[in-house]
Amino acid sequence: MVFWLIVILIVGGLAWIRFAPSDVAVWHVDPMVASDQDLTGGVRRRIDGGLDTFERLHGIILATPRTELLAGSPAEGRATYVTRSQWMGFPDYTTVQFTDDHLELFSRLRFGQSDFGVNKARVEGWLAALETQPGD
């Protein structure tokens, strides 16, 4: 009996992680990036660029597997994306905001204490792709 209770709790927890709703009011917020930071559960980056850079980055982000737009758009000046891990479906949230003459990126986990560098690697991959992509 105890075995089945544990199995049900594990399956229920995994289902919650995969299907939990994303509250736009919680995740689609100002990234408040003053400087580049590597965090335990995410990363903050600030790069030079305007709306054209945001548009190109938007395309790169949406081309990432298991990534979808949660809210906003480059035209609105802020967009938040959800990227889920392949096997467990853990959601990571990335907000990109255009401010003055730069973009602020804040990528962070939702569940757990550490993302083991996943958000940093993803953001750095996006920024590397942005550098190789021709601009306007």
Average pLDDT over residues 2-12: 88
Identify the three-state secondary structure at position 8. Answer: helix
Strand (E) or helix (H) holding 93: strand 91-99
What's the whole-model pTM score? 0.90
What is the C-alpha to C-alpha distance for residues 98 and 115, in angstroms, rounded to an integer? 25
pLDDT in tens, 44-93: 999 999 999 999 999 999 999 999 999 999 999 999 999 999 888 899 99
Residue 27 domain-assigned (yes or no) = yes
Residue 28 domain-assigned (yes or no) = yes
Residue 2 domain-assigned (yes or no) = no
Whether the predicted pLDDT of 135 surpasses 80: no
| Burial annotation 51-77 (CB, 10 A radius, 16+ → b, else e) | eebbbbbbebbeeeeebeebbbebeee
Residue 69, domain CATH? 3.30.310.80
Residue 38 domain-assigned (yes or no) = yes
- Structural domain of 109: 22-132
> Based on the structure, what is the number of domains in the chain?
1
Helix residue ranges, H only, 20-50: 24-27
